[in-house]
Amino acid sequence: MPETKKTEEKKDVKITQEETDGIRELQNTYTQITVNMGQLSIAMERMKENIDAMETQREELLAQHNTAQEEEKKIVEELTEKYGVGNLDLDTGIFTPNE
Write down the domain spans for the chain: 17-97
Work out the average pLDDT over 41-60: 99
DSSP 85: S
Decide if pLDDT at 3 tops 90: no
Work out the average pLDDT over 30-41: 99
For residue 46, the cross-strand partners are: none
Decide if pLDDT at 58 tops 70: yes
Work out the average pLDDT over 85-95: 94
Mapped onto helix, strand or coil, the DSSP state of residue 84 is coil
Average pLDDT, the chain: 94
Decide if pLDDT at 4 tops 70: no
What is the pLDDT at residue 9? 83
pTM for the model = 0.61
* Cβ atoms of 81 and 95 closer than 8 Å: no
* Cβ atoms of 79 and 93 closer than 8 Å: no
* Cβ atoms of 47 and 39 closer than 8 Å: no
The larger pLDDT score, comparing residue 4 to residue 32, is at 32
